Amino acid sequence: MVKILGLETENQEIEEEIRETAKKLLAEKQVDVIIGYTTGTLPLTSSPIMIRNEEDVDKLIWNNLCYVNLA
């Protein structure tokens, strides 16, 4: 259980798997961009992010604040 801004979450393992998969897909040139969530500019928010290189994969998050439709 991880606490983010006082909220408990069990999503740490999922977040790590997302990052590993994104890094692999970008490294193998299977995709040009990963669309996901990053920490928002305001407390208790997340924002959409487009990742185009492996160095930025660590910006991806997955928690209870990731609910905005990315489509």
Q: What is the pLDDT of residue 2?
A: 55
Say how far apart CA 4 and CA 20 lie, in whole Å: 21
Per-domain residue ranges for the chain?
2-59
Q: What is the pLDDT of residue 12?
A: 84
pTM tops 0.85, yes or no: no
Q: pLDDT digit of tens for each residue in the chain (71 aa)?
A: 555 556 655 678 889 999 999 999 999 999 999 999 999 999 999 999 999 999 999 999 998 899 989 98
Say how far apart CA 58 and CA 34 lie, in whole Å: 12
